[in-house]
Structure 1
Amino acid sequence: MTIKIYGDPGSGSLRRVTAAAKIMGVDIQRVNIDLFKGESHTPGFLQLNPHGLTPVLQDGDTVIWEASAINLYLAEKVDSDLLGRTQAERFEVLQWMFWSGEQWRVFSTLLFNEWAGATLMGKPRTEAIVDLVTTNIRNAAAVLDTHLEKRNFMVGDALTLADIDIAAPFSQHKRTGAPFDEFPNLIAWQERLLQTVPAWAATRDDVEQRMTGVLRAADPVDFPKAVLK
């Protein structure tokens, strides 16, 4: 049975899933959901995810939302080394994935929302929010920069889901102004992923193509309130 993945091509969270699926050799059927047109809030989609967010996986009767959970499901399904090659590595991968959700990606998402509101909806940025999330991004990036000082990957000596989870905010950082460039080890790690993981480079191009189209077509008056996660 075909595994369906619902999401918007401009979403860094969808990128995490499509990149991981390519790396693991998992065949998926993409179902485009235009977040900018509010398609994640239709009655049909809300039956899949009542939060109205993407990506969503549908594998027969199994429905899973949240990109990290989807990637864990796919990796378990094919017994992928992206979960880690030992039990100790698996727990460390989970540690960094949970950390990423609470201490890292959430702040980049808020910064993107501020950028999207100002750029695409004509709303003024809330500077207090921008200052708060930028401070938290710097704090988390400092932790990552130290961790990556003498290693090529987040866990062990090979790519894992931890790398994909933590790399996701790079999908939009040049638009939002996230201060990643202040952290040389973090930047070097991201460039290494782009050079050595073809699926990560390919999905970056997918995001760029989608966002270029959005920026060209956007009308701040009519632009809906939905933003990419």
Structure 2
Amino acid sequence: MAIQVYGDPGSGSLRRVITAASIMGIELERVPVDLFKGESQTSDFKSRFNPHGLTPVMVDGDTILYESSAINIYLAEKVGSDLLGTTPAERYQVLQWMFWSGEQWRVFATLVFDERIGKRFVGQAEDARIVELAFGKIHAAAAVLDAHLADRRFIAGDRLTLADLDIAGPFSQSARTKLPLTDYPNLVAWQQRLLDTVPAWAETKREVDARIDGALAGAGIVL
């Protein structure tokens, strides 16, 4: 039986899993979960898959995992992929940046999306104080990334790893949420390099864009 992944095609977190699986040649059975209809918030979904009511969720036989980073590590270990590094030293660097992304980077981009996009679907206005706080954190993290990428093509080592996909996640919605990234040319150039050189990353961008733009249009929301 193919590995199942539950998620909404508009999710940047699902995008990271789909991209990684494609690069690794792993076949996934995708099970749609409509986040805009609240399909992940049912008691059945929470009890079976993720008590937080979030996606993506991976099911591989008796193994059920949520959190995209954990899923990608599981998949990479399953097939022995170099996306997790080829030496212990590389692996620790990849893991360091994946954990860094969750703590210092993606969480604040998600917060901005919830304020600037998510709230509009329920008729609420963004809280400017929350956006300002998140922007401050994003600026601090982006400065670190921009300096790190000054003489590197990728986040860890000399090729694409799971660290790149984790840190690239916020770019899935950055044009819509207006994340303050234009002052960081190395970071912007790195993201464009991923789009130009990683076909799966470009393909999943098109999928995310189609899903979110369609949802916005359906709700009559103009950004």
Which range, TM-score by smaller chain? over 0.9
**Secondary structure, counterpart of 2:150 in structure 1:** coil
Equivalent residues in 2 for 1:155-194, closer than 5 Å: 155-194=156-195
Equivalent residues in 2 for 1:149-228, closer than 5 Å: 149-218=150-219
Letter in 2 for 1:21: A
Map of 1:24 onto structure 2: 24
Question: Which structure exhibits the higher relative contact order, with contacts defined as CA atoms closer than 8 Å and separated by 6 or more residues?
Answer: 1
**Secondary structure, counterpart of 1:9 in structure 2:** coil
Map of 1:12 onto structure 2: 12
- Please say if 1:36 is aligned against 2:36: yes
Give the TM-score normalised by the residue count of structure 2: 0.96
Count matched residues.
220
Gaps of 5+ in 2: none
Give the RMSD, CA atoms, in angstroms.
1.0
> Counterparts of 1:117 and 1:7 in 2: how far apart (Å)?
17
Map of 2:2 onto structure 1: 2
Map of 1:83 onto structure 2: 84
Percent identity, aligned pairs only?
61
Letter in 2 for 1:198: P
Query: Deviation string for 1:22-69 (max 9, x for gaps)?
Result: 000000000110001000012321111111000000001100000000
- Please say if 1:54 is aligned against 2:61: no
Pairwise CA distance, 1:185: 0.1
Map of 2:104 onto structure 1: 103
Gaps of 5+ in 1: 221-229
Map of 1:137 onto structure 2: 138
- Asked if structure 2 preserves the Cα contact closer than 8 Å seen for 1:120 and 1:219, the reply is no
Equivalent residues in 2 for 1:120-131, closer than 5 Å: 120-131=121-132
Letter in 2 for 1:209: A
Pairwise CA distance, 1:205: 0.4
Map of 2:65 onto structure 1: 64
**Secondary structure, counterpart of 1:10 in structure 2:** coil
- Asked if structure 2 preserves the Cα contact closer than 8 Å seen for 1:117 and 1:124, the reply is no
- Asked if structure 2 preserves the Cα contact closer than 8 Å seen for 1:16 and 1:164, the reply is yes
Query: Deviation string for 1:121-176 (max 9, x for gaps)?
Result: 22111111000000000000000000000010001101000000000000000110
